A and B are shown apart, each in its own frame.
Chain A
Amino acid sequence: MSNIKKAFANGKAFIPFITCGYPDIKTSKEVIRTVAESGADLIEIGIPFSDPTAEGPVIQHANLKALEGGITTVKVFEVIRELRNEGVTVPMVFMTYANVVFSFGSEKFISTCRDIGIDGLILPDIPYEERGEFLDICHKYGLDMIPFVAPTSANRIAMIAKHSEGFIYIISSLGVTGVRDEITTDISSIVKIIRENTDTPCAVGFGISTPEQAHEMAELSDGAIVGSALIKVIDAGGEDMLKNVGEFVRKMKEAV
């Protein structure tokens, strides 16, 4: 069983997303440690990209601010390596854009992932049809490549589910990441098709900000992914920021 699947082995999973390097490299490392210690089952680490076309304003801003602060692919690797050496064991995946992986040299990037203890890769600009050039290398180094299912996937869900691994990232709504008041997509119908085709767990992301929403989405699937709302907790800042982050994660974990 892959580390990612293990994250789903003990009930519903809570999966926070953190932009590495935001608000600065040192603080984001402490945020990752805090969410790991506060009950996150799997952590999605975002490697910033200059043009994050799947992101809403909150995560886009975090990406650009992190890049201005000097984060690079190599520095993200260092942060994760240090956290692993310091005993953080929770499964982790990278979420970034294809060009970040490709420009580094896909094989060099993915083999480094294995070396530092990254369990999978989420690339929002790589659909099923284009995943081959990354998938083969991921398998060579024992990483899962996490596929997406969107509200518009319709006839594609079965195909994606049949060939899935790690977990399936269900996009809750049309559009980009960011807080939403209401999620109107028929998640349970999507999950039903997924279950008919695979035993790979699935988690819902995009627009989840409250424990109630997280609970509802995790009820319908196997877990909930939260990004923008966590960044807002970081932005609220202050001396108690890490404490607030820990509290936020604990509440979310309880809710799911």
Chain B
Amino acid sequence: MAETRGRFGIHGGQYIPETLMNAVNELEQAYNHYKNDPDFQAELQDLLNNYANRPSPLYYAEKMSRDLGGAKIYLKREDLNHTGAHKINNVLGQALLAKKMGKTRLIAETGAGQHGVATATAAALFGMECVVFMGEEDTKRQALNVYRMKLLGSEVVPVKSGTATLKDAVNEAMKEWTRRISDTHYCLGSCMGPHPFPTIVRDFQSVISKEIKEQCLKKEGRLPDVVMACVGGGSNAIGAFYNFINDPSVQLIGCEAAGRGIDTFETAATVATGKLGIFHGMKSYFCQDEFGQIAPVYSISAGLDYPGVGPEHANLHDIGRAQYVAITDDEAVEAFEYLSRTEGVIPAIESAHAVAHAMKIAPTMDKDRIIVVNLSGRGDKDVAAIARYRGEDIYE
């Protein structure tokens, strides 16, 4: 079998309708041109530094480290980016690319709303039209982000089909792209979908690991021992991993959402419970039944509530370069509360999945070991939902 483009081992590819093929080919050509264009890179760097607040700090969580009594824990503070999550890194890159390609309209899917907010923000900045597709269930879970997007001038389309979550939002965004291609760029939010999206998103997010590396060398004079991040589609994780893939001493750990447990149906842990499949433009691991019907996954976290995983992660798993662990709702909520209490940092419930795993392994490691947790987003959006989880009846 001939190897097709955009593969990570056996994963990736371009499993999309013929209608979209020229659009992704055009995108690939434009990206290959602009990624080596110094003017484009300078413009993007300026936006990242002066608009998005990069570089984000690598913060030594001293109190947490002392409390857990093991490895030194650093938090990569992507939550301090403009719009409150790592999503802006990718969005500024793609929006700038879309503008160079002459597109005047952005469409996007969103789960927790962070990618939608970031896309709406970039659209406002660049004077582009913007439509965000969001599962109806998620518009309820993340009502504040819905209003934020509208405030930024975007249209938000609640998606009622299927489980009315992230997967369905991706379905509708893809359908919308087949309806209207010539003026529209699909600003995909994770390292998933058809080639070239997994590569483009990874490249734009790899600024995270580039900075971690420089900052850790500066602070500690060496590389970290472990880098960990939460994984839904996997964009913050691939960004945090990418520049360490060729540093074998650095252990890479992705934290999936186990929901109510990987032995239940209410889980979104794809690597732990999924199998190889073809969906949303890519070959990768997916939660599915024996006949290939995509499973209605569940996590407390709207951003991790996705039945697949990006193809590069699937390959990192296959070759053993990264490990993937599953964190339950309960563990994530405990970590959410712990980090708030201990460091005065309220993490996104997504990021709290990575914090939870750090809480598990840090005590088992020597004090001279270094863990970097990618704190992919801030938790303001989750406060009301966590209160409800704890039985307090408050609404935004």
- Measured between C-beta atoms, what is the minimum distance from B177 to chain A in Å? 10
Q: Mark A162-174, 1 if CB is under 8 A from B, else 0.
A: 0000000001001
Please, which residues of chain B bring their CB within 8 A of the CB of A239? Answer: none
C-alpha gap A153/B178 in the complex (Å): 12
- Answer yes or no: B83 CB below 8 A from chain A CBs: no
Q: Determine whether B279 belongs to the interface, using a CB cutoff of 8 Å to chain A.
A: yes
- Residue from B15, B181, B277 within 8 A of A130 (CB atoms): B15
Pairwise interchain contact B293-A50, C-beta atoms closer than 8 A: yes
A174 touches B22 (CB 8 A): no
A130 pairs with B14, CB closer than 8 A = yes
Select the stretch in B50-58, B167-175, B221-229 that faces chain A: B167-175
Q: Is the CB of B179 within 8 A of A176?
A: yes
| Given A54-B17, A130-B14, A176-B178, A153 contacting B22 (CB threshold 8 A) | yes
| B164-207 contact mask (Cβ, 8 Å, vs A): 1 or 0 | 00011001001100111100000000000000000000000000
Stretch at the interface among B36-44, B132-140, B284-292: B284-292
- A129's contact among B4, B280, B292, by CB below 8 Å, is which? B4
On whether the beta carbons of A156 and B21 are closer than 8 Å, the reply is yes
Within 8 A of A (CB), among B1-55: 1-2, 4-5, 13-23
Cβ-based interface call for B162 (8 A)? yes
A15 to B237, CA, bound (A): 47
Contacts A72-B291, A103-B277, A174-B179 given; indicate if A150 touches B13 (C-beta within 8 A).
Answer: no
Q: Does A100 contact B (CB under 8 A)?
A: yes
Query: Does A51 lie within 8 Å of B279, measured CB to CB?
Result: yes
Is residue A237 contacting chain B, with contact meaning CB distance below 8 A? no
**A167 → B minimal CB distance (Å):** 15
B262 to chain A, nearest CB (A): 20
Query: What's the count of A-B pairs with C-beta under 8 Å?
Result: 122
User: What's the nearest-Cβ distance from chain A to residue B66, in Å?
Assistant: 47
Given contacts A98-B278, A99-B292, contact A128 B18 (CB under 8 A): yes
Task: Flag if B293 contacts A130 (CB, 8 Å).
Answer: no
Q: How far is the CA of A178 from the CA of B337 in the complex (A)?
A: 48
Indicate which residue in B162, B276, B278 contacts A125 across the interface (CB closer than 8 Å): B278
Chain A contact residues, CB within 8 Å of chain B:
49-51, 53-54, 60, 64, 67, 72-74, 97-104, 124-130, 132-133, 136, 147-156, 160, 171, 174-176
Beyond contacts A49-B293, A98-B278, A171-B18: 14 other A-B pairs, Cβ-Cβ < 8 A, are A51-B167, A53-B174, A54-B178, A73-B291, A124-B18, A128-B21, A129-B14, A130-B4, A132-B4, A150-B19, A152-B18, A154-B22, A160-B18, A174-B180
Chain B residues packing against A (C-beta within 8 Å)? 1-2, 4-5, 13-23, 161-162, 167-168, 171, 174-175, 178-181, 275-281, 286, 288, 290-294
Can you give 14 contacting A-B residue pairs, CB < 8 Å?
A: A51-B162, A60-B161, A73-B292, A99-B278, A99-B279, A100-B291, A102-B278, A126-B15, A127-B16, A148-B17, A153-B21, A156-B22, A176-B175, A176-B178
> Which 9 pairs across A and B sit closest by C-beta, in order of nearness?
A103-B292, A175-B179, A150-B19, A148-B18, A98-B278, A99-B292, A50-B293, A150-B18, A50-B294
